[in-house]
């Protein structure tokens, strides 16, 4: 009996040692990958011009989309800007052309309008050697956290967010992917969100749409990696843009320009990223939080009040 107990004790001890070793090795490997992706990549950047002459960016007149367009131009690509407001397109095109010296084209399109816009986009892009596509355009369904049925004008908003956040990525990929496959090279960057990594009540449609972008990206990468196509899914946390009420930047909140620069450095280092070192560390810590605590914080009155105050302050600044 004593020998049996001793054997069990040794077995459980060995299991504990192996489990601890697995955890240490796994976390060490994650740290090494993070160092390589976010630190070494600053010095050994991928040459993005090898994919082709042109980069296409959707939702390109503000925030992350504009920052990606400017950074891609600085790295030697000509840019096609796609967004809904003609005046903003002209202004941003002139700004990027002046800053980079690259050729800039623009296409006016409202991605909330459904599939009827894509024939025009396809015709406008015909004949261009598109090496990079950034599917960035996106929208939130409400300005403050709210339950699904409490969404104002729910039917219209649901259609808009599906068209803008989901359909745009699929249709734009359909338009450019075939010529990338023919040339056996191309880069598709899909902007998702950390909101797509966890069920997000009170922001349900936005969160669910970003889950689609994540899975769509991962599936595309598996299907077309052997064809020379790189597909990357970027899942930022807080970036100072109109969508986040232009929050003040700090160690947690990145400016759009800084985020785009760091995120582009990670191309070919990882197919799925939070974009920058700060967001990667935050996401790791966030992933350790138990679900019950996360949802308790998300449903708190103080957080809702915080978003309402941000929204009110932002609107006052706009006025």
Give the catalytic positions in this structure: 206
CB 270 within 8 A of CB 232: yes
Q: Which sign does the torsion angle of CA 163, 169, 171, 172 carry?
A: positive
Name which of 239, 238, 231 is nearest 215 in CA terms. 231
Q: What phi, psi does 253 have (nearest 5°)?
A: -105, 120
Query: What is the signed CA dihedral for 44, 81, 168, 142, rounded to 10 degrees?
Result: 100
* Contact in structure between 239 and 252 (CB atoms under 8 Å): no
Which spans in the chain are helix H? 2-38, 63-74, 86-100, 118-125, 154-161, 168-183, 204-224, 256-265, 277-287, 291-298, 301-318
State the Cα–Cα distance between residues 95 and 99, nearest whole angstrom: 6
How far is C-alpha 204 from the geometric centre of its chain's CA atoms? 17
Report the residue count for the chain: 319
């Amino acid at each position: 009996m004593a020998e049996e107990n001793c054997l069990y004790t040794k077995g459980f001890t060995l299991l504990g040692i192996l489990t601890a070793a697995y955890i240490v090795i796994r976390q060490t490997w994650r740290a090494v990958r993070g160092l390589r992706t976010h630190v070494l990549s600053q010095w050994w950047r991928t040459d993005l011009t090898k994919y082709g002459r042109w980069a296409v960016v959707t939702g390109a007149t503000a925030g992350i989309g504009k920052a990606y367009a400017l950074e891609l131009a600085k790295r030697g690509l000509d840019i096609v800007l796609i967004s809904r407001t003609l005046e903003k397109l002209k202004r941003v095109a002139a700004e990027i052309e002046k800053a980079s010296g690259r050729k800039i084209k623009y296409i006016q399109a409202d991605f909330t309008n459904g599939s009827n816009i894509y024939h025009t986009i396809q015709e406008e892009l015909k004949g261009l050697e598109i090496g990079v596509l950034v599917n960035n355009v996106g929208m939130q369904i409400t300005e403050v956290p709210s339950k699904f049925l409490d969404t104002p004008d729910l039917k219209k908003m649901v259609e808009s967010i599906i068209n803008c956040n989901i359909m745009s990525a699929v249709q734009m990929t359909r338009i450019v992917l075939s010529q990338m496959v023919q040339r056996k090279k191309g880069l598709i960057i899909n902007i998702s969100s950390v909101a797509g990594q966890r069920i997000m009540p009170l922001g349900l449609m936005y969160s669910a749409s970003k889950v689609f972008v994540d899975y769509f990206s991962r599936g595309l990468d598996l299907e077309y990696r052997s064809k020379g196509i790189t597909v990357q899914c970027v899942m930022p946390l807080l970036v100072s843009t109109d969508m986040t009420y232009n929050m003040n930047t700090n160690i947690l909140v990145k400016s759009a320009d800084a985020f785009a620069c760091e995120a582009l450095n990670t191309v070919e280092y990882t197919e799925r990223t939070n974009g920058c070192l700060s967001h990667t560390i935050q996401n790791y810590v966030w992933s350790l939080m138990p679900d019950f605590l996360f949802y308790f914080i998300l449903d708190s009155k103080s957080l809702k009040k915080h978003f309402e105050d941000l929204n009110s302050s932002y609107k006052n600044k706009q006025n």
